[in-house]
A and B are shown apart, each in its own frame.
Chain A
């Protein structure tokens, strides 16, 4: 099996004041290359913490995070930044676009941070076309609907062809029509470009777009089954 992500006995404890609050309590998980994985669970169960650790935004307290055969739990902050730049694309519930930049400039920014010379990178116009946003490329986020903003965020995550897309409740702020549109795009991209998608969701319908769904509770994975 070719695993893009492997989490081994992962723990994360946050220190809040003088109290240790465990967020992850020994998580083991393997994500196959090209898989579309959905993670479900109640608020505070550790889903987002796990996603942030997978994406190198956060370091674990203990355990290993193997990303594309590299143990990032042993990496420095600078190395994790480089890995994030090269291998990961984030999609957030609140879109997190730069409000002062147009759709095209938001995507361009990600491309520039990555460096324009990446052989796998897609042209901005191409990705906007793919996500049905070509007519809106010069619009600023506040001139776009929620669904359009999330598609811009998706385009930004995809522009550098990262090996792994981490989506934290990407449809949490969208109505059902826009949710379906975004999820279909995620699924199309997963199929077309064989990009691995790990998506957190509270919505069972959204989770059905995934190949596999896992459930979390109290910082642990309860089970996993194919969607």
Chain B
């Protein structure tokens, strides 16, 4: 059976290549799009967590997907937070989503930020901003945009001078003075969130419960740093739907191409199916033959698709270092399963049809 399957696949190289490519495209779509969604999510969560705050405090109804929020919380709330027992430092933050660079810009108070993060903002070259229209960027931004110290950066229709490069993996890729961003946002005295640092790890739960349940903080959005990723993943609007849509489209592509390939294959091979029946091949044998052929095509497609996904991820990473794509091992497992199921489903009807062919009619087929 193996030699027959291999010879059938070799016999029509164009069709074989198209089928394999279709499966590969499905695999690449799932791995890259899901990887991009998860990579963005994880990257955002990590950068939030790397601030080393114990708690993130936001206005009521806010999302951890910062691009969805705006600065609505009075900065004076920070003073009230400092009064809570167990709170050591508080750092305000304003953010703005830049459509131009498709990234977040944070407005921070460097001193307060460094107090919370314990010196987590590491300046690799230059210095932190001191004037209103100065900014610092992380090393990934610097690399991907080929910027240098002293360059001008256009942010919200204003020119900012780059004064320093900081080590990536914390906060945002671009940091500007808190007050400047408040003014440019037309929300002076307002902030988007506070990073809260507690006295010690034992105080975190107590502070969290207090901020969550006690007036005047009740109703605000309070998240422990350790929960950031899970809260983001569960609250991110449309992530599940997006992933499902990508899977459905990929499954449909693989399913339809395999269906079409195997259907035309069995039509072309009607006579061969008749010969197999004359040799005593059972319906089960013919079904297995068709299914195994489609599984082989799918398996090759999966292998190529996985390899292509990693190659594309590497190329994208090189071209756009700030684009975080994360191909997780469990998704490789899922994608193998999804593609195999669509391959088998796509060949089920052709296999059933082949098995039911009348042997005499099949033998007379021209």
Residues of A within 8 A of B (CB): 52, 55, 57-58, 77-78, 81-82, 84-86, 88, 90, 92, 96, 98-101, 105, 108-110, 112-114, 156
Contact = CB atoms under 8 A, between A and B. Distances in A.
B282 A81 contact: yes
B300 interface: no
11 contacts: A77-B283, A84-B278, A92-B363, A98-B272, A99-B11, A100-B8, A100-B11, A101-B3, A105-B4, A105-B7, A109-B1
A112 B7 CA distance: 16
B279 A110 contact: yes
B360 A52 contact: yes
B140 interface: no
Contact of A113 (B8, B272, B285): B285
A105 to B, nearest CB: 5
A207 B282 CA distance: 33
Interface string B1-28: 1011001101100000000000000000
Contacts of B285: 113
Nearest to A58: B360
- Of B11, B278, B279, B285, chain A has the most CB atoms within 10 Å of the CB of B279
A86 B279 CA distance: 9
A52 B360 CA distance: 7
Given A52-B360, A101-B3, A109-B4, A78 B282 contact: yes
A97 to B, nearest CB: 8
Interface string B168-199: 00000000000000000000000000000000
Given A109-B3, A113-B276, A100 B360 contact: no
Interface in B349-366: 359-360, 363
Contacts of A110: 279
Nearest to B362: A57
Contacts of B276: 113
B52 interface: no
Interface string B264-280: 00000001101111111
A86 B280 contact: yes
Given A52-B360, A58-B360, A110-B279, A100 B1 contact: no
A198 to B, nearest CB: 14
B315 interface: no
Contacts of B8: 100
B275 A98 contact: yes
B122 interface: no
B7 A101 contact: yes
Given A100-B7, A101-B4, A109 B279 contact: yes
Contacts of A86: 280
B96 to A, nearest CB: 64
B281 interface: yes
A10 to B, nearest CB: 16
B3 A114 contact: no
Contacts of B360: 52, 57-58
Contacts of A114: 279-280
- Of B10, B272, B274, B275, chain A has the most CB atoms within 10 Å of the CB of B275
B277 to A, nearest CB: 7
Given A96-B271, A98-B272, A101-B3, A113 B278 contact: no
B359 A57 contact: yes
Contacts of B279: 84-85, 90, 109-110, 113-114, 156
Given A92-B278, A100-B7, 9 more contacts: A78-B282, A81-B281, A81-B283, A85-B280, A85-B282, A90-B279, A96-B278, A98-B272, A105-B4
Nearest to B12: A100
Contacts of A57: 277-278, 359-360, 363
A24 B312 CA distance: 66
- Of A82, A98, A101, A112, chain B has the most CB atoms within 10 Å of the CB of A98
A98 B10 CA distance: 13
- Of B10, B282, B285, chain A has the most CB atoms within 10 Å of the CB of B282
